[in-house]
Amino acid sequence: MKYAVRLAYDGAAFSGWQAQGHGLGVQQAVEEALEAIHGVSVPVSAAGRTDAGVHARGQVVSFEVPRSWEPEMLRRALDARMPQSVRALGVSPVSPDFDARHSARWREYVYFLWAAPATYPHLHALTWWIHQPWDWEVVRQACALLPGTHDFSAFCRSADRPERTLRTIFSARLARRGSLWWFRVRGNAFLTNMVRILVGSLAEVGRGRRPVAWFASLLEGHSRVMAGMTAPPQGLFLWNVGYGDGGEKLLWEKEESPIV
């Protein structure tokens, strides 16, 4: 039987999604839990790979297991065997040809920033604390340039740059509640470090170091050195992954309601 599981995890507890030679990868924690349950190795496919320190609210993985399960029972079995820093939020049976990565219609990331002279210590692991004032209106102008298909080669870690760097962004917006700001972006796929480099480049615009025209030029395809810094990992969340709209409908998708 094949299943998809929606996961949330605290990225600070892991060396990234993939199993690593050093530290614990989220993938390893999930696969070890599945092996403990079924007595056989169960490889998983993930919708997206997150870096060390990056969190997930809506990561999706798929896998085949040798027996059928009532979804809630499998969810509880996984939670009982995974570290508390990773939780299964929902389980859905899927068709044999479903794959969490290749069947995804879109992925959505949210990056949180705390913009104030002082911050709460509890937020250090979940936000990027912005000390200097930003011009948020010009940041919004830069965000408005993102929807559409662009060459994002300037927004990819050089060592992981693929041959094809065109990606389509469906929506990108900046929002706030008090001192908490968040950048929310949805696209068909993302390059390595793409969202973090986007935020680092938006920081250059917000701080007045670069004009919006510079940000626009980066979308035409440039080398990584032309863009801004890679923003810290702790502010980034893999927020949601979509499979509906003509694709396979997962059980939790009909229950989805936005938090931000």
Amino acid identity of residue 216, one-letter, is A
Identify the residue whose tokens are 């701080």.
207
Q: Is 51 a catalytic residue?
A: yes
Q: 204 Cβ partners below 8 Å, 6+ apart? A: 210, 214, 215, 228, 229
Q: Which of 10, 51, 79, 97 is catalytic?
A: 51
Nearest to 7 by CA among 64, 77, 78: 78
Q: What beta strand segments (E) does the chain contain?
A: 2-9, 45-46, 55-64, 86-93, 106-115, 128-130, 148-151, 166-177, 180-187, 236-242
Nearest to 203 by CA among 240, 177, 235, 157: 235
Q: Would you name the residues annotated as active-site residues?
A: 51
